[in-house]
């Protein structure tokens, strides 16, 4: 069977307020500068207030299933059967034409409750780098432009869940979620490596193809089923890209829907690019406000200092124990990821 549909009744999700982001004013920021975490949070809110909300970061929970799992966990995702909602469909690509630049529409087996359009995707037969169970077809892109999945639903709740089997991870694999024109989340190779570790590693069960047909081949790359839960909103398009173009972004069993449950092991959260953009804008605003408040005239910067974070605290701000608030974290060596 190429598609799966589970439909129960729907309900809404809610998220609590963030009072720490509602207390941000210039005076509070400077008085509390010793508390670096609060300053970062407040800087983000300051960026929103001062420069608008052209970008918006959503709260995403990202999890991975146990090693070898290649499809979504129906029991966990649809756990709240009596009180919640579960509308989920799957695109397996097995009936799609093979070749580059494919464009097609799908209902994910939901009878039109959820629909999607794939634009400029390459579909290839199962092999050592992809294809769940070692058979059928899978999706891949080899370009930095990638392919787009445009989503729609008749559900009033919208779409808050996406999952897929990510196979043969390489350094270019990037997937980005959008609500309209707004980027709400991006997942990169480093996010997965932070959770499962680097490959090759004989003790790492995520290394190598887990299917019987290609057992443990490509042991220098990771294979995992990844779940994405948008906890305070929805999304309506996804872009898979190979950026930088170092190999291919292979995936299968694209699972889309609205769910109330959760499944898998949490992936260490990282700041979304939209958050980083807002943080930079907020810190820049703090620098300007600080200079006006103190009447500073000096505009010298230490050679090699990163801006704007270091300039916001240049020469004065220290916390408890004399720790410099603006001290940069050491640059950690990136793991070497082989390509297919």
Whether the pLDDT of residue 9 is over 70: the answer is: no
Q: Which of 106, 112, 78, 75 is nearest to 8 (CA)?
A: 78
Strand partners, 105: 117
- To the nearest whole percent, how much of the chain has pLDDT over 90? 51
Over residues 304-334, the pLDDT tens digits come to 333 332 333 333 333 333 322 232 323 334 4
pLDDT of residue 113: 93
Over residues 186-220, the pLDDT tens digits come to 999 999 999 899 999 999 999 999 999 999 899 99
Domain count for the chain, please give it: 1
pLDDT of residue 53: 34
- Domain span at residue 157 reads 1-340
Segment among 156-160, 226-230, 320-324 with least mean pLDDT: 320-324
pLDDT band at 5 (very low <50, low <70, confident <90, very high): very low
pLDDT of residue 309: 29
* Full-model pTM: 0.65
pLDDT of residue 125: 98
User: What does the alpha-carbon distance between residue 278 and residue 46 come to, in Å, rounded to a whole number?
Assistant: 9
pLDDT of residue 216: 82
Helix H, strand E, coil C: the string for the chain is: CCCCEEECCCCCCCCCCCHHHCCCCHHHHHHCCCCHHHHHHHHHHHHHHHHCCCCCCCCEEEEECCCCCCCCCHHHHCCCCCCCCEEEEEECCCCCCCEEEEEEEECCCCCCCEEEEEEEEEEEECECCECHHHCCEEEEECCCCCEEEEEEECCCCCCCEEEEEEECCCCCEEEEEEECCEEEEEECHHHHHHHHCCCCCCCCCCECCCCHHHCCCCCCCECEEEEEEECCCCCCEEEEEECCCCCCEEEEEEEEEEECCCCCEECCCCCCHHHHHHHHHHHHHHHHHHHHHHCCCCCCCCCCCCCCHHHHCCCCCECHHHCECCCCCCCCCCCCCCCC
- Pull the structure tokens for residue 63: 């999890």
Q: Which residues 6+ apart lie within 8 Å of 292 measured at CB?
A: none
Segment among 10-24, 92-106, 170-184 with least mean pLDDT: 10-24
Over residues 117-143, the pLDDT tens digits come to 999 999 999 999 999 999 999 999 999
């Amino acid at each position: 069977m190429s598609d799966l549909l589970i439909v129960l009744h729907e309900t809404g999700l809610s998220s609590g307020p963030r009072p720490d982001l509602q207390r941000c004013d210039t005076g509070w920021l400077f008085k509390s500068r010793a508390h670096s975490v609060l300053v970062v949070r407040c800087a983000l809110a300051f960026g929103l207030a001062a420069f608008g909300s052209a970008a918006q970061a959503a709260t995403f929970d990202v999890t991975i299933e146990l090693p070898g799992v290649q499809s979504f966990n129906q029991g966990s995702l649809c756990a709240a059967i009596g009180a919640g909602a579960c509308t989920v469909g799957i695109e397996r690509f097995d009936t799609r034409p093979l070749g580059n630049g494919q464009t097609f529409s799908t209902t994910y087996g939901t009878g039109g409750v959820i629909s999607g359009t794939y634009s400029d995707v390459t579909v290839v037969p199962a092999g050592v780098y992809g294809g769940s169970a070692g058979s059928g077809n899978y999706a891949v892109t080899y370009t930095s432009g990638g392919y787009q999945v445009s989503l729609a639903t008749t559900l009033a709740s919208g779409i808050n869940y996406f999952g897929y089997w990510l196979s043969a991870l390489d350094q270019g694999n990037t997937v980005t979620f959008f609500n309209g024109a707004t980027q709400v989340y991006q997942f990169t190779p480093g996010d997965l490596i932070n959770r499962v570790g680097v490959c090759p590693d004989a003790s790492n069960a995520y290394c190598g193809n887990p299917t019987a047909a290609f057992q443990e081949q490509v042991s220098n790359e990771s294979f995992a089923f990844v779940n994405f839960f948008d906890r305070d909103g929805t999304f309506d398009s996804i872009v898979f890209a190979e950026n930088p173009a170092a190999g291919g972004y292979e995936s299968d069993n694209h699972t889309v829907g609205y769910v109330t449950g959760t499944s898998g092991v949490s992936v260490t959260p990282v700041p979304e690019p939209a958050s980083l953009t807002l943080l930079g804008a907020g810190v820049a605003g703090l620098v300007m406000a600080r200079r006006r408040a103190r009447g500073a005239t000096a505009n010298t910067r230490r050679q090699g200092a990163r801006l704007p974070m270091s300039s916001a605290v240049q020469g004065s701000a220290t916390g408890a124990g004399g720790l410099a608030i603006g001290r940069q974290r050491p640059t950690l060596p990136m793991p070497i990821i082989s390509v297919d």
